[in-house]
Amino acid sequence: MATEINRVTSTVTVSCMNEIMPVIKECLQKGQSVRFSPRGISMLPMLRQGIDTVTLSPITGDLKKYDIALYVRANGKHVLHRVVKVEDTYTCCGDNQYVYEKGIFLDQFVGVVTSFTRSEKEYSVNNTGYRLYYRIWHYSRFFRRVIRAVFRRIKNLFHK
């Protein structure tokens, strides 16, 4: 799958975020927003690879709980996950994941998602329906994990 960046009126297709990160950072530093299609399954069911797009904007101030932000891990990998806890550092987790990634500093963040496009309709992160979704999804994390474990065990029983 390729990542697309819509910069002013042109679209660039790349196979790796590392290839386009200098352009993304340059646009964000100029105060511009960048639209791209994220890769991977960590933000399912909200963001579907190759189908949905996000608008990444510059970070103004501190991030808040439930913001979706692009950050760089210590190993250099770029990750788009939701902020689930704010203390001295940030804790993030993908919507389709259960393990929290702790100890992320503000200077590791590149930008914050301000809107996303799903089924050709654009939604602001301030949309009431979206705000209800992420709260329900976040607080149902434990139950989703238990249900997934039960199904995995049932599947293993029949595949022995």
**64-73 pLDDT per residue, tens:** 999 999 999 9
Please give the average per-residue pLDDT across 6-32, as a whole number.
Answer: 73
Rounded to an integer, what distance in angstroms lies between the CA atom of residue 103 and that of residue 126?
26
Per-residue pLDDT at 12: 55
Task: Tell me the pLDDT tens digit for each residue of 115-153.
Answer: 999 988 999 999 999 889 888 887 887 787 787 788 788
- Domains, in order of start, for the chain: 3-158 (2.10.109.10)
Residue for token pair 């808040």: 64
Residue 19 backbone phi and psi in degrees, to 5: -70, -35
